[in-house]
Amino acid sequence: MTRFKLKLYVTGKTVRTACAVANLRRICEGELEGRVDWVVIDVLEQPQLAEEEKVMATPTLIKEAPLPFQRVIGDLSDRKGVLGGLNLLPRAQLEKGEEVQ
């Protein structure tokens, strides 16, 4: 079973940050349950990590594994857009062998 590794870059404790974290949590629990490791990185606390990843805007979600690396910028409220943008397969479509359109 494929395991996903995600990093969510945010800026401080803002409403936009809280929204992005909540949306990512819903996506991970609903679609990637048991197959994902994710971490939230605050660029105010760890600017060197954001610089290494060339994060220019927040929130930015980066999929590190499986390859290829992919990223989505925004509050992650468009579940289908996030899954499609990161080339992640929802559980229901995994079972059918379908890809996100």
- Domains with residue ranges and CATH for the chain: 4-96 (3.40.30.10)
Structure confidence at residue 96 as a pLDDT band (50, 70, 90): low
pLDDT greater than 60 at residue 98: no
User: What average pLDDT does this structure show over 24-44?
Assistant: 92
Q: Give the model's pLDDT for residue 64.
A: 94
Count of all residues that appear for the chain in the document: 101
What burial class does residue 6 get, using C-beta atoms within 10 Å of its C-beta: 0-12 exposed, 13-18 middle, 19+ buried?
Answer: buried
pLDDT greater than 60 at residue 92: no
pLDDT greater than 80 at residue 93: no
Q: Give the model's pLDDT for residue 50.
A: 95
